[in-house]
Amino acid sequence: MLGEGLEGTHKAQADGLGLGLFIAAELARAHEGRIDVDSGEAGTPFGLRFPVDAPVSAPLDAPGS
């Protein structure tokens, strides 16, 4: 699975904090998903995939309910 060892330190532009891919990897890991990447001359799109049959946690209670 792509995403092991990702750190928010590599970025192509000076804008932002460089944490987007790290956060996406943590979301994928937390939900037993994965990150797909297809690097090419036109760019490098990333995709998040999550399993449909992943265990569902109990919903959080809304404040004041």
For 18-50, write each residue's pLDDT tens digit.
Answer: 788 899 999 999 988 999 988 888 888 888 998
Identity at 4, one-letter amino acid code: E
pTM: 0.51
How crowded is residue 35: how many other Cβ atoms within 10 Å of its Cβ? 18
State the pLDDT at residue 4: 47
| Closest residue by Cα to residue 52 from 37, 38, 22, 31 | 31
Element (DSSP H or E) covering residue 27: helix 20-30
Domain range annotation of the chain: 1-52
Reported as a pLDDT band with limits 50, 70 and 90, residue 65 is low
Reported as a pLDDT band with limits 50, 70 and 90, residue 7 is very low
